[in-house]
């Protein structure tokens, strides 16, 4: 598939999220993500506002679903989301019903392997249960907690090639990537590139980063799209 650039709107204010989304789309971003902070702050209202403002643009609702999967996916689909996120650490029945809701309501399911003892096996499980994409994810708290102990901060790149090779569905790498690392994800066979905290968003205050963000995003999108087709 061709590389896709997704911006994670990890903001807590819908007006700022709408402004950031408009800027990102002008710069060449392909998908919008209603990040978990935005969903917590604005709920379905935030997703509806994004859909009203940007008809036809894919919207990922980063629910991180752990239970009540069918209802959560149904509600987000009806609000305008095109993609929902379920966690590999959820019960397999939760993953199954999210996948079923995806089929019933025409939304794609992204399975997130955050926190799996075996990240590769977690990715395989998500594919086996019918997820359309794998999110290979090293969490914010995990990264910061390990770094605070003076240890090497883990990165999704550590096992990204192995995850990509273990599944036959597209993979997205998330979690503390530098800008250059994110741009190079297609080289690992992961065509879905996420830009957000801390690349374009201030991770500590969850506000848009300072500087000429639109020009920077445009250059980033051009570099990622220049990869052409990636195997998955």
Burial of 25 (0-12, 13-18, 19+ CB in 10 A): middle
Is 33 in contact with 8 (CB distance < 8 Å)? yes
> What would the pLDDT profile of 64-99 be if each residue is shown by its tens digit?
999 999 999 999 999 999 999 999 999 999 999 999
What are the DSSP E strand ranges found in 81-158? 83-87, 108-112, 133-137
pTM of the entire structure? 0.92
- 């950031």: which residue's tokens? 20
- Tokens representing 168 are 């036959």
DSSP, res 176: S
Which pLDDT value is given to residue 215? 85
Which ranges of the chain have pLDDT less than 50? 198, 203, 206
Which pLDDT value is given to residue 212? 73
Which pLDDT value is given to residue 210? 61
Q: What residue ranges do the domains of the chain occupy?
A: 4-225
Which pLDDT value is given to residue 211? 63
Which pLDDT value is given to residue 228? 84
The yes/no answer on whether domain 4-225 falls in CATH 3.20.20.70 is yes
DSSP, res 17: H
- Tokens representing 105 are 């309501």
């Amino acid at each position: 598939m061709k590389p896709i650039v997704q911006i994670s709107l990890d903001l807590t204010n819908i007006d700022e999220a709408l402004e950031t989304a408009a800027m990102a789309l002008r710069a060449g971003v392909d998908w919008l993500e209603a990040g978990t902070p935005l969903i917590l702050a604005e709920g379905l209202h935030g997703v509806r506002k994004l859909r009203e403002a940007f008809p036809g643009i894919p919207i990922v609702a980063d629910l991180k679903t752990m239970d009540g999967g069918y209802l959560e996916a149904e509600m987000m689909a009806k609000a305008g989301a095109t993609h929902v996120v379920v966690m590999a650490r959820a019960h397999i029945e939760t993953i199954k019903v999210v996948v079923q809701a995806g089929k019933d309501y025409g939304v794609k399911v992204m399975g997130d392997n955050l926190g799996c003892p075996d990240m590769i096996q977690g990715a395989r499980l998500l594919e086996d249960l019918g997820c359309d994409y794998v999110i290979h994810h090293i969490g914010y708290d995990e990264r910061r907690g390990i770094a605070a102990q003076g240890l090497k901060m883990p990165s999704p790149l550590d096992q990204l090639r192995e995850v990509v090779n273990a599944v036959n569905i597209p993979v997205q790498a998330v979690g503390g990537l530098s800008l250059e690392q994110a741009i190079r994800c297609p080289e690992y066979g992961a065509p879905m590139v996420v830009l957000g905290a801390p690349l374009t968003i201030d991770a500590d205050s969850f506000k848009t980063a300072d500087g000429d963000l639109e020009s920077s995003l445009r250059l980033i999108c051009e570099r990622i799209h220049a990869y052409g087709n990636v195997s998955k």
